[in-house]
Amino acid sequence: MKLNNVKDTIQKFGRSLLLPIGVMAPVGMLMGICGALGQDYMIERLPFLDNTVVQTAIHSLQDITAIIFENIPLLFAMGVAYGMSKNEKGIAVFASVLGYLTMLVVMNVYLTVTGTLAEDPETMSQVGQGVVLGIQTLRIDAFGGIIAGLIAAKIADRFYRLELPLAFAFFGGKKSVPIITFLVMIPVGLIIPVIWGLFTQFLLSISFIFMNQHFGVGAYWFAHRALIPFGLHHVLASVVRFSEAGGVYLIDGQNYIGILNATNKILFDLGPSHEAWDRLMPDLVKYLASGQMLITLFRIPAIGLAMYHTSFASNKTIAKGTILTVVLTAFLGNVTEPLEFSFLFIAPLLFVVYIILSGIMALPLNFLDISIGYIRGTIFDFGIFGLLYEGTNWYQLVLLGIVNFIVFYFVFRFAITKWNLKTPGREAEIKNVSLLKEKRYPEIAGIVIEGLGGKENIKNVDNCVTRLRVDLYDDEKVDLERLKDSGSSGSFMAQKNHIHVVFGPHVEFVRNAVDEKLYSK
């Protein structure tokens, strides 16, 4: 029973991430397109873009969409707090934001007091620091938001009915939740820099491994993907891009420190005709665009296709839209997190397979002569830096990418079916597809209420991103078979007198219809 509770909690947590992921995916596609159309190299090749009105519109839209990705941790804090809390979701979300802000400031105070606050942007990136919401602090990205969301949800469920002595009664109940969250986040904000400092020093100490001429690129991409959930991939990337750990390269009698500085010199100043192009570019860009393009243009689509093909037949229509969106977000916008987070917590075994394969399948870059710059991995960058530049050997990347696609597709397809992983479209097979497809929500609501034992057996109805969450008076009156007739993709008793009924992205409309029937005269 305890094992089932842990499993349910993990799955619940994984699904709580779908709300921010759902926002990131379409916005990421739009941001990627705007980013590409606003680049100087794109304007040179597409003259119609060289227009003040067009560029103003593109840059403005890019700034608008970028705000979402600059505040991903905040989105995760709110999404996790909403999804994980059982009671008073609104106050949990409020507390998560307050808790996240508190953590940022406390980490800044710790860095300032200990004298470890970086003084310039280059040093900042190498030690994992950055400016977040106007505060210079550690860049722990989504992980920081998840911590704040989990703590806020737990505190909200535990203390939303807290009673205090009469003199302090005003601060009891719901008001106590953000206050307690604030107090808890202070020690959390002091502990995290200590742990992150140790991790950063460890990465610096082993950086020589990532530059090994035989297996370094594989080790780099393995570590890069493995560190994404914690935000430490920024530190790793900065170490090899800007510091001596990434190498010192002699070009025209001058030394360039780090792979990105050398790449910029060759790519933008010297060009394919210079001797440094053939001598250095293949070794430099395997840590930049070449490696990233294998992920965004080949591996992510392969994983998406495997998920779609392994989804249940009745769920494919719903699964297709979700999967296609997160795949295009990577393909067009170089944003891979939506897909990675879609199975990181729901199916962690799949993430282990993913990072191991990412390292192994990057190794062939060692003996290929691919010279595609820059650092991004979108289809636009492949077109500009791969097809329009001379001497890139872009076809080698395509051939290696096809091999990557095949390997990732079949390995993921096998793993999903072998371990029966609950990736999108595999939660449970939908018995009555037509009801949801035709959006017959009032009819669905009537079947749900009947399956739950009637109006008199329903205490409270709520929903998360994918499920109705219903408190009951007597769970013995529930008819699970009748609930299947509603088009639900699954129902289960999360605890005594509390049931979850899964409707996927339709859940809000079903919940509204259920409320209307419950409260109508």
**Residue 319 confidence (pLDDT):** 78
Residue 448 lies in a domain: yes
> For strand 135-138 and strand 129-132, is the pairing parallel, antiparallel, or unpaired?
antiparallel
Spell out where 271-419 has E strands.
none
Q: Provide the domain count of the chain.
A: 1
> CA 385 to CA 371: how far, in whole Å?
9
**Residue 424 confidence (pLDDT):** 77
The secondary structure of 311-324 as a DSSP string is S-GGGHHHHHHHHH
> CA 497 to CA 458: how far, in whole Å?
10
Residue 124 lies in a domain: no
Query: Which range (187-201, 371-385, 419-433, 486-500) has the least confidence?
Result: 419-433
Instruction: For Cα atoms 423, 432, 495, give the angle at the middle one, nearest 5 degrees.
Output: 60
Residue 469 lies in a domain: yes
Instruction: Tell me how far the alpha carbon of residue 331 is from its chain's centroid.
Output: 15
Query: Which range (45-49, 255-259, 411-415) has the least confidence?
Result: 45-49
User: Residue 32: which of 381, 411, 399 has the closest Cα?
Assistant: 381
**Residue 173 confidence (pLDDT):** 86
Q: What is the band of 234 on the pLDDT scale with cuts at 50, 70, 90?
A: confident
Of 373 and 428, which is predicted with more confidence? 373
Compute the average pLDDT of residues 170-194.
91
> For strand 254-257 and strand 248-251, is the pairing parallel, antiparallel, or unpaired?
antiparallel
Q: Of 270-284, 462-476, 498-512, which one has max mean pLDDT?
A: 270-284
Contact 291, 225 (CB under 8 A): no
**Residue 1 confidence (pLDDT):** 42
Tens digit of pLDDT for each residue in 124-149?
A: 876 778 888 889 998 887 788 889 99
Q: What is the band of 14 on the pLDDT scale with cuts at 50, 70, 90?
A: low
Of 13 and 47, which is predicted with more confidence? 47
Domain that holds residue 495: 433-519
Contact 294, 404 (CB under 8 A): yes
> CA 201 to CA 100: how far, in whole Å?
25
Of 184 and 37, which is predicted with more confidence? 184
Is the predicted pLDDT of residue 29 greater than 70, yes or no?
no
Residue 402 lies in a domain: no
* Catalytic hit among 464, 465, 483, 502: 464
Residue 241 lies in a domain: no
> CA 285 to CA 298: how far, in whole Å?
17
Cβ neighbors of 335 (< 8 A, separation 6 or more) are 24, 28, 31, 32, 69, 329
Of 430 and 467, which is predicted with more confidence? 467
Task: Tell me phi and psi for residue 470, to 5 degrees.
Answer: -120, 125
**Residue 419 confidence (pLDDT):** 87
Average pLDDT, the chain: 84
Residue 410 lies in a domain: no
The CATH number covering residue 473 comes to 3.30.1360.60
Compute the average pLDDT of residues 300-306.
95
Tens digit of pLDDT for each residue in 471-507?
A: 899 888 988 888 888 888 777 776 788 888 877 667 8
Residue 496 lies in a domain: yes
Residue 475 lies in a domain: yes
Share of the chain above pLDDT 70, in %: 90
**Residue 342 confidence (pLDDT):** 72
Tens digit of pLDDT for each residue in 186-223?
A: 999 999 998 887 877 787 788 788 888 889 999 999 99
Of 245 and 254, which is predicted with more confidence? 254
Query: What H or E segment, with its residue span, contains residue 337?
Result: helix 337-344
Of 467 and 135, which is predicted with more confidence? 135
Compute the average pLDDT of residues 56-79.
85
> CA 385 to CA 392: how far, in whole Å?
8
Q: What is the band of 241 on the pLDDT scale with cuts at 50, 70, 90?
A: confident
Known catalytic residue at 34: no
Q: What is the band of 427 on the pLDDT scale with cuts at 50, 70, 90?
A: low
Token look-up 């509603």 returns: 486
Cβ neighbors of 24 (< 8 A, separation 6 or more) are 68, 69, 72, 75, 329, 335, 337, 338
Tens digit of pLDDT for each residue in 393-408?
A: 999 999 999 999 999 9
Q: What is the band of 12 on the pLDDT scale with cuts at 50, 70, 90?
A: low
Share of the chain above pLDDT 90, in %: 31
Backbone Cα Rg of the chain:
25
> CA 52 to CA 60: how far, in whole Å?
12
Is the predicted pLDDT of residue 348 greater than 50, yes or no?
yes
The secondary structure of 180-224 as a DSSP string is HHHHHHHHHHHHHHHHHHHHHHHHHHTHHHHT-TTTHHHHHHHHH
